[in-house]
Structure 1
Amino acid sequence: MPDTIQTPPQAPPKEAQPNSNSEVLRTPPKSKKPDAPAYTIKKKLKKLKLTHKLKSALLTHQTGQWFTAIVLIPWAIAAIYFTLIASDRYVSEASFLIERSDSGGGSIEGLSLFGVTPQASNDQRILETFIQSPDMLDYLNQEVSLRQHYIESGDWISRLSPSASQEDFLDFYRSHINVRYNDTNGMVDMEVQGFEPEYTKKITDLILSKSESFVNDISHNLANEQLTFVRSEVERAEQRLKDFTRRLLNFQNETGLLSVEEQGAALNGIMNELQAELIRSQTELQTLTSYLNENSSQVIALKQRISALQSQITTEKDKLVDSGSTSLNDLAARQQELQLDLDLATQAYTSALVALETTRTEASRKLKQLVVVSSPYQAQDAKYPKVAYSLINILLVLLMIFALARMIRATIHEHRD
Structure 2
Amino acid sequence: MRRASTVPKPDARPEFPALVPPGSLVEGQLAPARPARARRRHLLVLLSFLCLVLGQTGIAGWYLYQRAADQYAASFAFTIHSEAESTGGLLQAMPGLSALTGSASPDSDILFQYLRAPDLVAQVDAALDLRSVWSGPVRDPVFAFDPEGSIEDLTRYWARMVHVDYDAGPGILTVEARAFDAGDALALAQQIEAACAALINRLSAIAREDRLSHARRELSRAEERLGTARQALTGYRATHRIVDPLADLEGEMGVIQRLQQSLAEELVTLDMLQATTGQGGKATRKGEITDARITQSQRRIEVIRDRIASERRKFGDAAGDRNYARLMGEFERLKVDVDVAQEAYVLSLASYETARAESDRQMRYLATFSQPTRPERALYPDRIMWLLAVAAGALLLWSVMVLGAYSLRDRA
Please give the secondary structure, in 2, of the residue aligned with 1:348.
helix
TM-score (norm 2): 0.71
Match of 1:144 in 2: 128
The match for 2:189 among 184, 204, 223 is 204
User: C-alpha separation between the residues in 2 aligned to 1:59 and 1:409?
Assistant: 10
Deviation string, structure 1 residues 145-172 (Cα, Å, up to 9, x no partner): 1134334655123233345332222111
1:236 paired to 2:199: no
CA contact (8 A) 2:315 2:322 kept: no
Please, which of 55, 60, 79 is the counterpart of residue 97 of structure 1?
79
Residues 305-361 of structure 1: per-residue CA shift (max 9 Å, x gap) = 455345434433443324369522222222111110111011112222333344456
Q: Give the 5 Å matches for 1:9-408.
A: 61-68=43-50, 70-102=52-84, 106=90, 121-151=105-135, 153=137, 155-182=140-167, 186-271=171-256, 288=280, 290=282, 292-293=284-285, 296=290, 301=296, 304-305=299-300, 307-323=302-318, 327-360=323-356, 367-408=363-404
Higher helix share: 1
Task: Please give the alpha-carbon distance, in whole angstroms, between the structure 2 residues aligned to 1:299 and 1:410.
Answer: 152
Alignment-mate amino acid for residue 381 of structure 1 = R
Check whether the contact 2:72–2:377 (CA below 8 A) recurs between aligned residues. Answer: yes
280-289 vs 126-135, which deviates more? 280-289
Equivalent AA in structure 2 for residue 312 of structure 1: R
Q: Of the two, which has the highest radius of gyration?
A: 1
> What is the distance in 1 between the residues matched to 2:103 and 2:198?
20
Whole-angstrom CA distance in 1 between matches of 2:286 and 2:329: 47
CA distance in 2: counterparts of 1:170 and 1:58, whole angstroms = 51
CA offset digits 1:112-163 (Å, max 9, x no partner):
9xxxx99795433332332322222111111121134334655123233345
Do the aligned partners of residues 266 and 184 (structure 1) sit closer, same or farther apart at CA in structure 2, a change above 3 Å counting? closer
Query: In 2, are the aligned partners of 1:319 and 1:327 still within 8 Å (CA)?
Result: yes
Q: State the Cα distance separating 1:201 from its structure 2 match.
A: 1.4
| TM-score using structure 1 length | 0.70
Paired residues of 1:111 and 1:185 also in contact (CA < 8 A): yes
- Whether the aligned pair in 1 keeps the contact of 2:131 and 2:146 (CA below 8 Å) is no
Separation in 1, partners of 2:252, 2:168:
79
- Read off the aligned partner of 1:292 and give its amino acid letter: T
Aligned mates of 1:340, 1:110 — CA distance in 2: 48
C-alpha contact (below 8 Å) 1:132/1:174 kept by paired residues: yes
Question: Identity over the aligned pairs, expressed in percent?
Answer: 22
Q: Is the 8 A contact 2:116 2:159 kept in 1?
A: yes
**Change in CA separation of 1:65 and 1:258 when aligned onto 2, cut-off 3 Å:** same
SS in 2 for 1:180: strand
Q: Within 1, Cα distance between the matches of 2:111 and 2:184?
A: 23
The answer to whether the Cα contact below 8 Å between 2:71 and 2:181 also exists between their aligned partners in 1 is yes
Cα distance change of structure 1 residues 148 and 236 upon mapping to structure 2, 3 Å threshold: same
Query: Any unmatched runs of 5+ in structure 1?
Result: 1-55
Q: Which runs of 5+ in 2 are unaligned?
A: 1-37
Distance 1:311 1:408, change over 3 A: farther
In 2, Cα distance between equivalents of 1:404 and 1:302: 138
Q: Structure 2 vs 1, CA of residues 337 and 194 (structure 1 numbering), >3 Å: closer, same or farther? A: same
Q: CA deviation at 1:402?
A: 3.2
Shift, 1:94, TM fit: 1.8
Q: 1:251-309: CA deviations, max 9, x gaps?
A: 32332222112323433454466568779989969994515236646676566445534
Matched residues in 1 for 2:286 and 2:256: separation?
28
Give distance in 2, aligned partners of 1:282 and 1:58: 153
Q: Residues 73 and 375 of structure 2 are in contact (CA less than 8 Å); yes or no, is this contact kept in structure 1?
A: yes
Q: 1:289 to 1:194 in 2, by over 3 A?
A: same
Distance in 1 (CA, whole Å) between partners of 2:41 and 2:133 is 44
The range that moved more, 240-249 or 95-104, is 95-104
Aligned partner letter, 2:243: L
For 2:93 and 2:333, how far apart are their aligned partners in 1? 53
- Counterpart code for 1:222: A
